[in-house]
Chain A
């Protein structure tokens, strides 16, 4: 089968005599990879870089004639991030959790991340205006406000992190469950999630709400995760997803404390298998030294108490919070090994690959460069058993993995690494190779007719590590795992057209003056600020 490409798009047919032909026979051809959740840019990522010189010294990339120098490992510098994604055949990367106040910084770094198209999700779950509007039941006004925020921060989707908990963290507290009121706002996490979910529908945003649940990283939190999914169940229409639970591994812990912590993957997958309104991503753990960074300040503080490691914690004015703690996942730790197992259990027990996507929540579960290893675990029982034999005995005894025979095929891998993610993101021109799609193609040097990935997982892993070719916008940018042409990627943002524009009154300006360090006039980012802006027009229902 041939794939015809013209002017950066996949087309039905081209003039074969004039076209350049790329022979990919005996190889796997997939659309360019799409990553739905990966912290690659912004204030917290950069603070993480500053915090960890010892992370960079062991992984240095030397300048070449085409590429810039840079450093890794768990928080690579911007250019290196772009190159490394491209070498693995990825062409679209989504940066979650951008504090709106740090939008400028985030976009500057995204502009400096070459080779991939990208977008970023502003954190709106603890934004004071959102909380105030939702408390007063002003859904439509709030929707207009969110639409303005998308354009002001050049954001793509609504990100909610520990709803209510981050606001409470400003007072040294956290919320315990979905019905625990947020101090001074008299609103509960349930109302925040439901409210923003309704707003997301009113605005017709391309992606669903992107939720990092309450109680993340605490034993017994699978109940909170299930409740979060259930709390919007009645808002679903048809089989369209309306909520994305991100890095689900971190919110699928069972047990009452760390000693009896076990996997809650079974309960979560059972629910997800029977409901169509939820999508998940894995947040797989890799056994390595990494840097955890989330907007979940209280969670990161807990992690600091657990490890005693160096840490950063920050309260972003009236918007959100954040924290960073370096972390090492160890095979021999029962908790870490159980976490490793949970991620894979989720991916394998959810029957429909269109509902679960492969991520490491880079760099929280491990660096994105470990994706080929996860692919090997998903495709091969032998690979899983091999790692299984090296992990903590206690974790091994409790793990569900030995009872799971499922091995994903190349088709299913294509879904969990690109097609499903593109669909969930509403990126209609990504994740497939039909006519009209962007000409983002990844070619991997492994022959599916000859290589059985369940046995020869090492061959598959090697192929996914170094793409034979990566084509971005119709141009060959990577050949045999080497960058041959550096290119800029686009920055998508949701250009929401509302019939009722947000009212900019004196009250709003006064609030900006009183609450923020930035004046209202300086807050929005102009379109020309982005290197290659790609607004996605969205027609809202309000």
Chain B
């Protein structure tokens, strides 16, 4: 296991794509210390910014990187990683686990925007809150998250799962507007409230909202009332209104909204 301690509080963004088990696993302590990172427009080595502590060597499958301290300015931690673990004890910066292809990232604090964007495999678990564009695509691209699992125990921001294609996002807190926008497939589970416009332009996939939602987009049509819904193999007790949309894009996505928490949506029942 390798533990990184930030030497100081970073004021400008640090691009540290190299903090990944795939990169660390095949390198000696000296090589790891010399890895290049960018602090703003300055080129630095990893040891300039972090104190690096090596513990007993573990097999590569369980290779673990622990980061202790505030790295909320450090971007791209675990980008493109395909195995091993990263444990962040504190807050993490943007693009955590971008294009991740396996392994597990655990964050005890909060994460910033673009967490798990374009990820293909693996798991990201966040105990705190998350920023915007969780599991989204790169700006302009239509290739969002295509597999894996993101679990946020706190709240998440806007556009959760933008252009999502496969996989699972679970948010136990509340979400901002446009959760599941442009969604192609996959599942988004929201335990808390949703700010609305959920599933805009979705083509397929499933969104489950267990909390209050101010309104459902007019391009969604009510389809059914379901007693329960399946999320990732587990049953969630309802009852749920089931909407189909986004019809503006000829979509066939399923939006489940918890009935009891949303009495203001009861007028939809007339159309059943």
A residues with CB within 8 A of B: 51-55, 57, 310
Residues in chain B near residue A57, CB distance under 8 A: 138
Kindly state whether residue B141 has any CB partner on chain A within 8 Å: yes
- Cβ contacts A to B, 14 pairs, < 8 Å: A51-B140, A52-B140, A53-B138, A53-B139, A53-B140, A53-B141, A54-B137, A54-B138, A54-B139, A54-B140, A54-B141, A55-B140, A57-B138, A310-B140
* Chain B nearest CB, measured from A301 CB (Å): 18
Residues in chain B near residue A53, CB distance under 8 A: 138-141
Residues in chain B near residue A52, CB distance under 8 A: 140
Decide if the interface of chain A is mainly helix, strand, loop or mixed: helix
Question: Other than the known A53-B138, A54-B137, A54-B141, what 10 A-B pairs have Cβ atoms closer than 8 Å?
Answer: A51-B140, A52-B140, A53-B139, A53-B140, A54-B138, A54-B139, A54-B140, A55-B140, A57-B138, A310-B140
Determine the residue in chain B with the shortest Cβ distance to A52.
B140
- Complex CA distance for A57 and B141, rounded to whole angstroms: 10
Determine the residue in chain A with the shortest Cβ distance to B250.
A308
Residues in chain A near residue B138, CB distance under 8 A: 53-54, 57
Would you list which residues of chain B between 120 and 149 have a CB under 8 Å from chain A?
137-141
B residues with CB within 8 A of A: 137-141
- Complex CA distance for A365 and B54, rounded to whole angstroms: 53
Determine the residue in chain A with the shortest Cβ distance to B203.
A308
- Complex CA distance for A57 and B140, rounded to whole angstroms: 10
* Chain B nearest CB, measured from A32 CB (Å): 35
Residues in chain B near residue A54, CB distance under 8 A: 137-141
* Chain A nearest CB, measured from B249 CB (Å): 8
Residues in chain A near residue B137, CB distance under 8 A: 54
* Chain B nearest CB, measured from A155 CB (Å): 32
- Complex CA distance for A52 and B137, rounded to whole angstroms: 13
- Complex CA distance for A55 and B140, rounded to whole angstroms: 8
Determine the residue in chain A with the shortest Cβ distance to B138.
A54
* Chain B nearest CB, measured from A309 CB (Å): 8
Residues in chain B near residue A51, CB distance under 8 A: 140
* Chain A nearest CB, measured from B43 CB (Å): 12
* Chain A nearest CB, measured from B166 CB (Å): 19
Residues in chain A near residue B140, CB distance under 8 A: 51-55, 310
* Chain A nearest CB, measured from B36 CB (Å): 13
- Complex CA distance for A407 and B139, rounded to whole angstroms: 43
- Complex CA distance for A55 and B142, rounded to whole angstroms: 12
Residues in chain A near residue B141, CB distance under 8 A: 53-54
- Complex CA distance for A57 and B99, rounded to whole angstroms: 13
Which has the most chain B C-beta neighbours within 10 Å: A52, A54, A57, A310? A54
- Complex CA distance for A52 and B141, rounded to whole angstroms: 8
Residues in chain A near residue B139, CB distance under 8 A: 53-54
* Chain B nearest CB, measured from A174 CB (Å): 25
- Complex CA distance for A51 and B138, rounded to whole angstroms: 13
- Complex CA distance for A280 and B18, rounded to whole angstroms: 50
* Chain B nearest CB, measured from A131 CB (Å): 37
- Complex CA distance for A85 and B256, rounded to whole angstroms: 54
- Complex CA distance for A53 and B139, rounded to whole angstroms: 6
Determine the residue in chain B with the shortest Cβ distance to A54.
B141
- Complex CA distance for A57 and B138, rounded to whole angstroms: 9
- Complex CA distance for A52 and B139, rounded to whole angstroms: 8
* Chain A nearest CB, measured from B72 CB (Å): 23
- Complex CA distance for A64 and B232, rounded to whole angstroms: 50
* Chain B nearest CB, measured from A311 CB (Å): 13
* Chain A nearest CB, measured from B250 CB (Å): 9
- Complex CA distance for A53 and B141, rounded to whole angstroms: 8
- Complex CA distance for A54 and B139, rounded to whole angstroms: 6
* Chain B nearest CB, measured from A188 CB (Å): 38
Residues in chain B near residue A55, CB distance under 8 A: 140
Determine the residue in chain A with the shortest Cβ distance to B143.
A54
Determine the residue in chain B with the shortest Cβ distance to A50.
B140
- Complex CA distance for A327 and B193, rounded to whole angstroms: 38
- Complex CA distance for A33 and B39, rounded to whole angstroms: 42
- Complex CA distance for A53 and B140, rounded to whole angstroms: 6
* Chain B nearest CB, measured from A207 CB (Å): 36
- Complex CA distance for A51 and B140, rounded to whole angstroms: 7
- Complex CA distance for A454 and B85, rounded to whole angstroms: 51
* Chain A nearest CB, measured from B16 CB (Å): 18
Determine the residue in chain B with the shortest Cβ distance to A57.
B138
* Chain B nearest CB, measured from A431 CB (Å): 39
* Chain A nearest CB, measured from B247 CB (Å): 15
- Complex CA distance for A52 and B140, rounded to whole angstroms: 6
* Chain B nearest CB, measured from A307 CB (Å): 11
* Chain A nearest CB, measured from B162 CB (Å): 13
* Chain B nearest CB, measured from A310 CB (Å): 8
Determine the residue in chain B with the shortest Cβ distance to A326.
B140
- Complex CA distance for A57 and B76, rounded to whole angstroms: 15
- Complex CA distance for A54 and B137, rounded to whole angstroms: 9
Closest 10 CB pairs of A and B: A54-B141, A54-B140, A53-B140, A53-B139, A54-B138, A52-B140, A57-B138, A54-B139, A51-B140, A53-B138
* Chain A nearest CB, measured from B63 CB (Å): 28
Determine the residue in chain A with the shortest Cβ distance to B139.
A53
- Complex CA distance for A386 and B203, rounded to whole angstroms: 37
- Complex CA distance for A54 and B140, rounded to whole angstroms: 5
* Chain B nearest CB, measured from A353 CB (Å): 40
* Chain A nearest CB, measured from B251 CB (Å): 12
- Complex CA distance for A51 and B142, rounded to whole angstroms: 13
- Complex CA distance for A54 and B138, rounded to whole angstroms: 6
